[in-house]
Structure 1
Amino acid sequence: MRLSYGKLTRAVRDEPSTRDPALKPGGRLIREWNGVTHVVEVVEGGFLWKGQRYASLSPIARAITGARWSGPRFFGLKRSA
């Protein structure tokens, strides 16, 4: 099977272990929103927030803000375009 460059790039980008080397199990993301400090634990295969497990940061950002945010952008992992 032969992968095009675009498919290969997407496959690497979507691979959880290559997303962001700074996000390793045991790490924490901290964000203050409207006077409340939110702590998200990085765990194998996802994130923990308020005792619930999430596969990505976006649903956490959405729950905190009530709006559709990019999780990585909300937690300061990506810069604005």
Structure 2
Amino acid sequence: MAKKAEDMDNEQKKDIPVEEAFDKVDATIKALEQSDISLEDSFKLFKEGMDLLKYCNDSIDKVEKKVQKVMADGRTEDFE
């Protein structure tokens, strides 16, 4: 059984593929849309979702920097 984002510590979040992190963000959003969720649980899910989004953003930034470094002709350009 897969762990929920709330059960994962920061080290575990760093070890998951970015696609899986986005799936967890999607699941978090769906959980937040439930009408029977408590305020406390909403806050926890919101924080976990934001942590996952930061992880995704950081991962994408790292890939963009790598792409810039491996440009075939040695030029660096902004990644679009």
Q: Does the TM-score normalized on the shorter chain lie above 0.5?
A: no
**Higher percent of residues as strand:** 1
Which entry has the higher C-alpha Rg, 1 or 2?
2
Higher RCO (CA-CA < 8 Å; seq separation 6+): 2
**Higher percent of residues as helix:** 2
What TM-score does the superposition give when structure 2 sets the normalisation length?
A: 0.24
